[in-house]
Structure 1
């Protein structure tokens, strides 16, 4: 390689994907301290780059991953330009100049973040972690902000240039596409959420409620009577604050007002409070004791989520995830429910007289429908058995054998009309996914009967299913009383017959005392019932474990992703809830 080529490499810059690291504390001086390992370098001027990286030999484009020297040079140049407030130069050192320039400008203009100090850590391949410390300044109020992030350096295929792979989270780990950092008077006043007994609910005491409390503030901050403070917050793409801002800027009046899908909704998040507001008190249906039990039960397992509801009213008593602060799978998850779906499928077969609790019912090792060959766990069969036995053993073929007698939309209608699922009309007080049972045909329709195929649920949905069986009627779960905002709760268009509800309770009770749910339900009395489930997922070594049950006026459901059999993984989580509720 010649001198000209080596010189070009020393000047080249580049980028790719990035990863997020936890925040750390730091100072707020206006400087960049760049280094890899123990070395540190201070920058006082520009990088000397024209933003396009090095000039490239028109006949020979560099290929392959960036070298260690290229990664260091690129990271230093980008961080230096950012720290110096030169958004255009920093953006030119990325693979998405327009998006980076907009975000870097907003960082200073909307976020009011000044005097950034950026300190790289030890490089790992093309990834360069760094610590960021800046001062948030707004109307005479100043506070330091510190956090950690990471950038990744890549080589652009088209011309071989080495650039920072642009992602919004390079600026701050909480940022996703379309999000912004905004400092100013909070759009929503703070709230003091309390449980049904009046005790305050905080994310410090109940870590799983972090996103729930953010969502409650977003929806009820103004209604609860509080006064907004001054904050630095992440304004999410599509949030009410973002829509309001877009509407104010759009003089044509064409700002989109389309409702955001609740399953994907993430509330705005406060990162720093410059001036505290006055919180308004918001009463929820949560039970502090049950929430504590839910936090403990999910913390013992990886990727566990649980919900508890009160069948007689629909009130949500607890909800927790084993990854506090992460995605709220308990309310917003969209996962195949496995054999817990057989509760709904059984109600359909019972109503259509295709099954009876103590009527003979086939449970062969295999059943073929729509070109697919279905089998039971461990290929078991029940010879001369009843539907009661098939339900308690969770026999797949007992349900697949009835698929030919059903219409393509039979299960969809049953889920929507009797159990209130899959209509996207629940309004519990925070964003939810309300289940999905799409119309399917042939093998996919048959798979839906056993909770596979395109059927999707979460613990809130399946806790509601158990609650509907217990009470005999669907009552939409809710977290905040509709009396507060006069919202209308969802209702079912029809109620299952008393005989069907009684048969379902008998099936679930038998499963709890003589079937797959015996161990988790042992010693819980006579007024109870349960259903286990496991759902195969492509790429997973173990299926997702499910469990839904009721006891007295409590209904609960849990999922443990990659947990294996539901009775072994999710069952103990639900058991803990039913015991904690008395």
Structure 2
């Protein structure tokens, strides 16, 4: 989603013109900033005449979305017993240290008494331990006023939760070995609080650190009646040898200071790594808890246009000087638009990139095949391959679009395209160097990736376009920094109700950085100041 600026015009030589179709009519749902599509969200499913009442299914999905998003009062109001539901949902997630649930519904059915049943899979991340996965189902009943409500019971939260049985999280910590940065400086949660999730994962990988279990206990006696899930490895033969990481304590401290001072209390995450070898210098998660910087799953928004631009440049489908119109609206099943319905008539592709024009990029979707964006992401950027960085990581997902609406969304980093700061920092490093290096946070990791180098002419154009984004585009927040800084901003819509996530990726010298701010609205305004603060605090690259 573009953070628009007024464009200055100058005399140019004649250029090839690539026109994108403008919207013929407004669609029912407006898609902003690369845009969340209701049908493409995490609770999407098809429907037919034989399906249960769509209103019941929609209410079930809304309940799951509210629960997953931590909106307990809203989720509770969708049930037949709001007060009780709100108390249970809050105590369940808080009491078991569940960070950010992922709740995915399956096909709904209708029972003989008219109840609509919606099965779902719950993936519950237990802070610092792992993910508890189980299946349950939602019963929905039609009320006298005709509205559908979730028929509240304890068992819908978990099939074994009841008036006699509850759950308890049992933790057990083992003394962890010393963890150091690349130069031997000790790293701890006391000095680097936003690094705590990473430190826990590093210790866990060594067989130390936290492990535990979800136990089922009798409400009356407190006796354990069963174990639902076990997390972590029992320590065996720890040597006490320090764990040496690739992190740099100076960069880590600067990253944490930038997050603390510029994130304005919002959830945010950042990764900085070396371009020439992929070694990670800093990882920040504010607040500490879930390692969203490395394991998070976000729509990358317009930062993804680096990959889209690579796909277009690789086949010479467009050049930076070509005219690619940037209209206010473009309808591809749904209506897409630019921030504040801005437009740039007769814009060049370079200006579309620097101003992050959604409609221009979507208008070029026929220039790439349906599978091509995913193929380019995997072949040149290593996305979707299995990375071994030294701790668990999410390595990206670029599914083949199911229709033209989803393809339009994927062109601008929405739909089902998923990434995180680790992945986007790596994308930036690959784009400006031409070569993918598997990111690492420890030494001696296995590398099973296989990629192809980007042609030099593509790298040159990407660097020029990212530099122009700083000097005259949406990343001007970095313009006063010394050095040849290049960047790309992004704004990604999450739901129609929640504020957008703000993104920025940047490079300087041998460093690539990516930062996301949840509910940050725009990348330039929210993530930009964080990266600027970091780069200003550490003016030189580590050796």
TM-score by length of 2: 0.63
Q: 2:163 & 2:331 partners in 1: Cα distance? A: 53
Indicate if the aligned counterparts of 2:211 and 2:231 stay in contact, CA closer than 8 A: no
Question: What is the Cα deviation at residue 481 of structure 1?
Answer: 1.2
Query: Does residue 479 in structure 1 map to residue 441 in structure 2?
Result: yes
Task: Give the gaps of 5 or more residues in structure 2.
Answer: 1-66, 68-79, 89-151, 215-228
Q: 2:232 & 2:344 partners in 1: Cα distance? A: 50
Q: 1:418 & 1:65 partners in 2: Cα distance? A: 50
Residues 388/165 of structure 1: CA separation in 2 closer, same or farther (3 Å cut): farther
Which residue in 2 is equivalent to 1:29? Answer: none
Query: Does residue 286 in structure 1 map to residue 244 in structure 2?
Result: no
Question: What is the Cα deviation at residue 377 of structure 1?
Answer: 1.4
Which residue in 2 is equivalent to 1:389? Answer: 351
Which residue in 1 is equivalent to 2:397? Answer: 436
For 2:493, which of 526, 531, 536 is the aligned residue? 536
Q: 2:389 & 2:155 partners in 1: Cα distance? A: 48
Q: 2:290 & 2:394 partners in 1: Cα distance? A: 12
Which residue in 2 is equivalent to 1:571? Answer: 528
For 2:313, which of 322, 346, 350 is the aligned residue? 350
Question: What is the Cα deviation at residue 368 of structure 1?
Answer: 2.6
Which residue in 2 is equivalent to 1:311? Answer: 275
Which residue in 1 is equivalent to 2:408? Answer: 446
Q: CA RMSD in A?
A: 3.1
Query: Does residue 500 in structure 1 map to residue 458 in structure 2?
Result: yes
Which residue in 1 is equivalent to 2:468? Answer: 510
Query: Does residue 527 in structure 1 map to residue 489 in structure 2?
Result: no
Q: 1:267 & 1:165 partners in 2: Cα distance? A: 28
Q: Any idea what the Cα deviations from partners look like across 1:421-448, whole Å, max 9, x if unmatched?
A: 122x110000100011111131101100
Which residue in 1 is equivalent to 2:100? Answer: none
Q: 1:287 & 1:443 partners in 2: Cα distance? A: 43
Q: Any idea what the Cα deviations from partners look like across 1:140-172, whole Å, max 9, x if unmatched?
A: xxxxxxxxxxxxxx97799xxx9657543xx3x
Query: Does residue 414 in structure 1 map to residue 376 in structure 2?
Result: yes
Q: 1:156 & 1:383 partners in 2: Cα distance? A: 57
Which range moves more in the overlay, 440-449 or 571-580?
A: 571-580
Q: 2:349 & 2:244 partners in 1: Cα distance? A: 44
Q: 2:155 & 2:307 partners in 1: Cα distance? A: 52
Which residue in 2 is equivalent to 1:399? Answer: 361
TM-score by length of 1: 0.59
For 2:299, which of 318, 336, 341 is the aligned residue? 336
For 1:361, which of 321, 324, 345 is the aligned residue? 324
For 1:235, which of 190, 195, 212 is the aligned residue? 212
Q: Any idea what the Cα deviations from partners look like across 1:209-258, whole Å, max 9, x if unmatched?
A: 2221222122235xxxxxx8xx9x53358xxxxxxxxxxxxxxxxxxxxx
3-state SS of 1:306 partner? strand
Q: Which has the higher contact order (CA 8 A, sep 6+)?
A: 2
Residues 166/372 of structure 1: CA separation in 2 closer, same or farther (3 Å cut): same
Question: What is the Cα deviation at residue 501 of structure 1?
Answer: 0.6
Question: What is the Cα deviation at residue 490 of structure 1?
Answer: 4.4
Task: Give the gaps of 5 or more residues in structure 1.
Answer: 1-17, 19-62, 72-153, 222-227, 238-259, 271-275
Q: 1:203 & 1:277 partners in 2: Cα distance? A: 21
Indicate if the aligned counterparts of 1:420 and 1:490 stay in contact, CA closer than 8 A: no
